[in-house]
């Protein structure tokens, strides 16, 4: 089974069942500065899942190019990649569980139309319920799965685990269907049901896992005890690999905390194409599927090392890990460059540069000292010629960009490594970065390999200060959403803090930031809230912000431990990762000073990298221009200072 065959079979399967096959959206979202990459098949379809009619109808299917930067550090095992294709099918108020689960099961097990997987190797999870909000076990999904397995002659026992910890301790228990709590088998933009604001939609999901078996062909145990005494479907040892997840958007949260069923229910399915393909090959290594063949052969030739061709999930030695990182990163880099991204220190270009630099470091570990990345990347153009011909059409520019970046960084790497060696066990990561351009994350990796513990809190604090002075674009977006440090942009940044606090006062304390983008022309904030704001609510928010501007409140910056800031209740961005030392900005009270910020009396208190005005009197008059839906359970406001 090849990737192309698995993709075609999936799209043909759902086209035959009335689905319009739509093209993949670009991996770099168009006209959406709130996010750097398309990270799932659902992302481009959010407006339609919220109720907007899709021009192609109520049944859709596609294979979506996706990239998840947060998985960069995970690459190296048998199943994680940064770039991948997400197979998806959607029902927009049309069919539901009794159609979706049998269809996906048929695609997995049918030799004629699907992958022909052995149903005995498939295990599933369902939603166990959530007592805190009165949710019960998803018995409908359980009954459907029992029937489907029974039709294959398999008695499917339900094992109710509830909390994930229970599963870790008890293992498989002879089960085929496993019910987990809301942290594992519930979907909403805000997480578990109790965290959802009124008006937000969500629902249970059902995942399917492929079992590569308890032992290898040689009889060696596949489960690694470091992941727990007993293996189970959600274990991270690599025996079980998730190949698909059906999300059932079934409920809407009410103001009193209860849930009612949506009049039109949606299905959102996502399945990793590469994972499905390697399940079909029976070999638990995503890097042995066909799209990596040519690139892997280049690395073998240039390194003189043979990539592990075995069924050993445990074969995650240093060489194997280096192969995997280079293969993954160069595939992503090929698609990025073909999509118009170029290595830089901002936005998507910064991520591309990081992928290239990590690959060079791993090539060195394989004793490849000369330029190799362009040759590795060349194989991906041919591998994706049928589905994404634009990659092969960009072969020359991909080669040129990689050769240029590799040559430049090898000089930086050589110089930085010489300086690093001189430091011995006292490594100054900040100096290596600012003086020689040596990446901090690379210094941290090298130190870890040598058993040297770096004071990353201090390094991070210095980096934050350095970035506030010298970096724009992506670095500012990650820190606070600023496009630049222009005077007017800084004013909007402070107004953004006032706006978020005012929204919480008017709409409720459950409102939190879900994204932002700030330019010199306007501010934009995405926040968790399930319904359209009324004119009265918008007017009240404007009134509060303008009152705080008129009060001429001081804006104070304090550096403190993250734990202390959290105890104070300082607001921080959803999903963001912060260092142990953080910068906190407080607005007010009137007599607050840097030496005595009076946090308990502050109007607003937030984690933030800055910069800000020194007093709210510098802002001008605040006005909301537009309030609209951004995604499920998330609203968006655009506002200006007049």
Q: Tell me, yes or no, whether 513 lies in a domain.
A: yes
Residues 212 and 327 in one domain: no
381-386 long-range CB contacts below 8 Å, 24 or more apart? Answer: 381/334, 382/294, 383/3, 383/290, 383/291, 383/292, 383/293, 383/294, 384/291, 386/4
Cβ count near 617 (within 10 Å): 13
- What CATH number did the domain enclosing 121 receive? 3.30.930.10
Q: Of 220, 252, 281, at which residue does a domain stop? A: 281
User: Is residue 251 scored above 60 in pLDDT?
Assistant: yes
Lowest mean pLDDT among 82-91, 460-469, 504-513: 460-469
User: Is residue 471 scored above 50 in pLDDT?
Assistant: no
Helices 440-449 & 347-365 angle (0-180, nearest 10): 30
Residues 158 and 133 in one domain: yes
> In 3-state terms, what secondary structure has residue 590?
coil
Q: What is the pLDDT of residue 398?
A: 94
Residues 333 and 261 in one domain: no
Residues 263 and 362 in one domain: no
Q: Tell me, yes or no, whether 618 lies in a domain.
A: yes
User: Is residue 417 scored above 50 in pLDDT?
Assistant: yes
Angle at 604 between CA 611 and CA 553, to 5 degrees: 75
DSSP code for 24: P
Q: 616 near 494, Cβ under 8 Å?
A: yes
Residues 262 and 328 in one domain: no
Q: Can you name the residues that pair with 584 across neighbouring β-strands?
A: 558, 607
Residues 112 and 217 in one domain: yes
Cβ count near 642 (within 10 Å): 6
Lowest mean pLDDT among 213-222, 260-269, 476-485: 476-485
CA dist 496 and 477 (Å) reads 14
pLDDT band at 477 (very low <50, low <70, confident <90, very high): very low
Q: 330 near 380, Cβ under 8 Å?
A: yes
Q: 555 near 614, Cβ under 8 Å?
A: yes
CA dist 268 and 560 (Å) reads 42
Which among 362, 242, 224 has a CA at the least distance from the CA of 303? 362
Q: Name the strand (E) or helix (H) holding 593.
A: none
Lowest mean pLDDT among 102-116, 135-149, 336-350: 336-350
Q: Tell me, yes or no, whether 139 lies in a domain.
A: yes
- The chain-wide mean pLDDT, for the chain, equals 85
Q: Provide φ and ψ at 596, rounded to 5°.
A: -140, 80
- Domain extent for 583: 477-641
The tens digit of pLDDT for each residue in 581-638 reads 678 999 999 999 988 999 999 999 998 877 889 999 999 999 999 999 876 678 999 9
Q: Which residues contact 349 (CB under 8 A, 6 or more apart)?
A: 341, 342, 343, 474
pLDDT band at 312 (very low <50, low <70, confident <90, very high): very low
Lowest mean pLDDT among 20-24, 57-61, 269-273, 435-439: 435-439
Q: What is the pLDDT of residue 479?
A: 37
Q: 592 near 602, Cβ under 8 Å?
A: yes
- Mean pLDDT across 175-191: 87
Q: What is the pLDDT of residue 391?
A: 92
Lowest mean pLDDT among 32-36, 75-79, 171-175, 360-364: 32-36
Which among 471, 460, 510, 498 has a CA at the least distance from the CA of 585? 498
Buried b (16+ CB within 10 A) or exposed e, 499-535: bbbbbbebbeeebbbbbbbbbeebbbbbbbbbbebee
Q: Tell me, yes or no, whether 445 lies in a domain.
A: yes
Q: Can you name the residues that pair with 248 across neighbouring β-strands?
A: 267
pLDDT band at 574 (very low <50, low <70, confident <90, very high): low
The tens digit of pLDDT for each residue in 314-323 reads 445 678 899 9
Q: 348 near 354, Cβ under 8 Å?
A: no
The tens digit of pLDDT for each residue in 363-397 reads 988 989 889 999 999 999 999 999 999 999 999 99
Residues 317 and 257 in one domain: no
CA dist 531 and 198 (Å) reads 7
Residues 302 and 396 in one domain: yes
Q: Tell me, yes or no, whether 462 lies in a domain.
A: no
Counting residues of the chain whose pLDDT is more than 90, the rounded percentage is 46
Helices 429-436 & 395-423 angle (0-180, nearest 10): 130
With 0.85 as the threshold, say if the pTM is over it: no
**Residue whose structure tokens are 């099918």:** 89
Q: What are the percentages of helix, strand and coil residues in the chain, rounded to 5?
A: 45, 20, 35
Q: Tell me, yes or no, whether 66 lies in a domain.
A: yes
Q: Tell me, yes or no, whether 591 lies in a domain.
A: yes
The residue count of the chain comes to 642
Q: Of 391, 421, 454, at which residue does a domain stop? A: 454
Q: Tell me, yes or no, whether 89 lies in a domain.
A: yes
Give the 3-state secondary structure of 483-521: CCCCHHHHHHHHHHHHHHHHHHHHHCCCCCEEEEEECCC
Which among 433, 377, 369, 441 has a CA at the least distance from the CA of 407? 369
Q: Provide φ and ψ at 88, rounded to 5°.
A: -145, 145
CA dist 307 and 325 (Å) reads 13
DSSP code for 51: T
Residues 121 and 261 in one domain: yes
247's tokens: 């999300």
- Mean pLDDT across 223-233: 78
Number of domains in the chain: 3
**Cα 26 vs. chain centroid, distance in angstroms?**
16
Give the 3-state secondary structure of 410-476: HHHHHHHHHHHHHHCCCCCHHHHHHHHCCCHHHHHHHHHHCCCCCCHHHHHHHHHHHHHHHCCCHHH
Angle at 109 between CA 112 and CA 24, to 5 degrees: 80
Residues 363 and 324 in one domain: yes
| Dihedral sign of CA atoms 544, 549, 554, 555 in order | positive
- What CATH number did the domain enclosing 509 receive? 3.30.980.10
pLDDT band at 481 (very low <50, low <70, confident <90, very high): very low
pLDDT band at 478 (very low <50, low <70, confident <90, very high): very low
CA dist 135 and 387 (Å) reads 42
Q: Which residues contact 339 (CB under 8 A, 6 or more apart)?
A: 26, 27, 28, 390
Residues 201 and 339 in one domain: no
Residues 264 and 314 in one domain: no
């Amino acid at each position: 089974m090849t990737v192309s065959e698995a993709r075609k079979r999936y799209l043909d399967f759902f086209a035959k069942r009335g689905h319009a096959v739509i093209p993949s959206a670009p991996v770099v979202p168009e006209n959406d500065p709130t996010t750097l990459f398309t990270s799932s098949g659902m992302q481009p379809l959010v407006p339609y899942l919220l109720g907007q009619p899709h021009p192609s109808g109520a049944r859709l299917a596609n294979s979506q190019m996706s990239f998840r930067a947060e998985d960069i550090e995970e690459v190296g095992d048998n199943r994680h990649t940064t770039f991948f294709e997400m197979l998806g099918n959607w029902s927009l108020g049309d069919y539901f569980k009794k159609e979706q689960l049998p269809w996906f099961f048929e695609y997995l097990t049918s030799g004629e139309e699907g992958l022909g997987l052995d149903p005995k190797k498939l295990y599933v999870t369902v939603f166990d319920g959530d007592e805190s909000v009165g949710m019960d076990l998803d018995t409908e999904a359980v009954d459907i799965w029992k029937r489907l397995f029974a039709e294959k002659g398999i008695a499917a026992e339900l094992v109710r685990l509830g909390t994930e910890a229970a599963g870790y301790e008890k293992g498989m228990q002879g089960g085929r269907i496993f019910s987990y709590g809301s942290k594992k088998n519930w979907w909403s933009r805000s997480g578990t049901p109790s965290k959802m604001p009124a008006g937000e939609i969500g629902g249970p999901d059902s995942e399917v896992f492929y079992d590569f078996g308890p032992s290898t062909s040689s009889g060696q145990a596949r489960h690694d005890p470091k992941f727990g005494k007993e293996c189970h479907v959600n274990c991270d040892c690599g025996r079980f690999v998730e190949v698909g997840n059906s999300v059932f958007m079934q409920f809407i949260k009410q103001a009193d905390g209860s849930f009612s069923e949506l009049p039109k229910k949606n299905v959102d399915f996502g399945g990793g194409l590469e994972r499905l393909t390697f399940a079909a090959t029976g070999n638990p290594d995503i890097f042995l599927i066909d799209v990596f063949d040519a690139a892997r052969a280049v690395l073998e030739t240039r390194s003189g090392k043979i990539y592990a061709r075995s069924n050993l999930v445990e074969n995650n030695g240093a060489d194997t890990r280096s192969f995997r990182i280079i293969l993954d990163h160069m595939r992503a880099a090929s698609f990025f460059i073909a999509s118009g991204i170029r290595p830089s220190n901002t936005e998507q270009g910064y991520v591309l540069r990081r992928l290239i630099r990590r690959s060079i470091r791993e090539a060195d570990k394989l004793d490849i000292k000369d330029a190799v990345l362009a040759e590795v990347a060349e194989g991906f153009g041919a591998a994706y010629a049928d589905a994404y011909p634009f990659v092969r059409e960009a072969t020359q520019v991909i080669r040129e960009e990689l050769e240029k970046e590799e040559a430049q960084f090898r000089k930086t790497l050589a110089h930085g490594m010489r300086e690093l060696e001189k430091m011995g066990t006292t490594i100054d990561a900040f100096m290596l970065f600012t003086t020689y351009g040596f990446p901090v994350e690379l210094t941290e990796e090298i130190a870890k390999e040598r058993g040297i513990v770096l004071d990353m809190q201090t390094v991070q604090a210095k980096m934050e200060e350095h970035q506030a002075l010298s970096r724009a674009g992506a670095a500012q977006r990650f820190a606070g959403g600023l496009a630049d440090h222009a005077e007017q942009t800084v004013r909007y940044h402070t107004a953004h803090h006032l706006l978020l606090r005012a929204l919480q006062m008017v709409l409720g304390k459950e409102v939190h930031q879900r994204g932002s983008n700030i330019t010199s022309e306007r501010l934009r904030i995405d926040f968790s809230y399930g319904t359209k704001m009324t004119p009265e609510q918008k007017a009240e928010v404007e009134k509060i912000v303008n009152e705080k501007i008129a009060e001429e409140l001081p804006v104070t910056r304090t550096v403190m431990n993250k734990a202390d800031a959290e105890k104070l209740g300082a607001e921080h961005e959803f999903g963001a990762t912060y260092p142990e030392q953080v910068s906190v900005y407080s607005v007010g009270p009137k007599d607050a000073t840097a030496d005595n910020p009076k946090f308990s009396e502050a109007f607003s208190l937030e984690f933030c990298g800055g910069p800000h005005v020194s007093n709210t009197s510098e802002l001008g008059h605040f006005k909301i221009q537009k309030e609209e839906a951004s995604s499920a359970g998330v609203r968006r406001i655009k506002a200006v200072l007049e």
